[in-house]
Structure 1
């Protein structure tokens, strides 16, 4: 069976474009700790990833079900439920799901001035071996809060908020308890759900507005106030996030991806992708 880096049923991912990563690296608050990639892979059968030259960010992988493994510095470790490990930036590594009992994992890539501090804090008792994590409802809430805000990354306030949550999320592995509020806007959430269900279509503003029972002008005003972008711009961003997931799965080519996301012209899709992510789909697929 072919190994997979991406493409698991029910997965969640959010990947920051290069311009947003640059924003985080330069922002007075975000530069201390920021997330570049984050996701959840449930029942990730045949999941495997190898980076012989390492990764530019630290990688945390938290197993909540099933089993997996990872190798670093010529040593291999088994990973069991409620264990996590962190791969330091620049370290060659290889990891994957157990063949018969594949893991379900929460993962994130993080960087910044405080990244090494958190790496040393959370691994000081075990070194590079997996570390036990107490099950925490608040940790899950923080994760989904980060994902929700990064879906609205065109509003830089949401990126700054996700950076503050990154501190809380990493600290939760030291059993820190954080009380969270939902901060949900039901209309915007309805729009996002509708958009995600129709990524294969070229939705118009009037179609999105009709779904939530508002006029196009009212919905646009609401998005401008709360999201700092238009509904169509957010819809396009969600399409490109989905494209990122598909590009990391070698079973899809760029032409197929563009058609599956409602773009009849793959060259138009490539221009839109580069405008948002800062690199072409081809370069993203090969990075």
Structure 2
């Protein structure tokens, strides 16, 4: 069961900059489950009680009461209630270039999960503001942008003081790779996105994750291929096309090089 306050894109004249799609409260429900591939929205949520299970890109965590999590746009969002202790949460779904900018400026790509974050009053105030201005979306846009700024600022204060610029660059590169795992991208493209040279990116990424960005990218694509092989009825050729490989044979060879077996063998193995 959910209580929601939502707005249509047409109600926000400058929606490309800032748009509140929806906000509300989700009440405990053991069957609650949301899954989005390459989400178009940021999901910002505070857990009031209970527990949940969340996947963002290739990162998994289990938020509990008092925790906040922020799932950025462009990644896979998959979250559900804990079956034994389903969570109640207050949340907001956001879009727009202003949200992108604040997310980058506050270096929130460092992590998605903020344990024991005293942000409930800010979430409650945001929901109340939207309730009071259902018919005045321009007010929601103006006040909402300031309130999201305040929430993001509080989340940034929760980032450990020992986090260096190198770690932040590595995390930004990892997030970019996860966002573009379905596409053919190069290490120079990743380096340009985070503002480093290729050699600098290789150094900071390997220091943080123990692998090169190229290897992480290849493994991310194969993990996505495994997900499609397990959870869909798509043919191998169709998966190759979705991941933008030049042809099925090149995809199968790449898959075997990483996984040790062909896509067809993998599908048969997980079906047993």
Instruction: Return the TM-score normalized by structure 1.
Output: 0.47
Higher RCO structure, 1 or 2 (CA under 8 Å, sep 6+): 1
**TM-score, reference length from structure 2:** 0.50
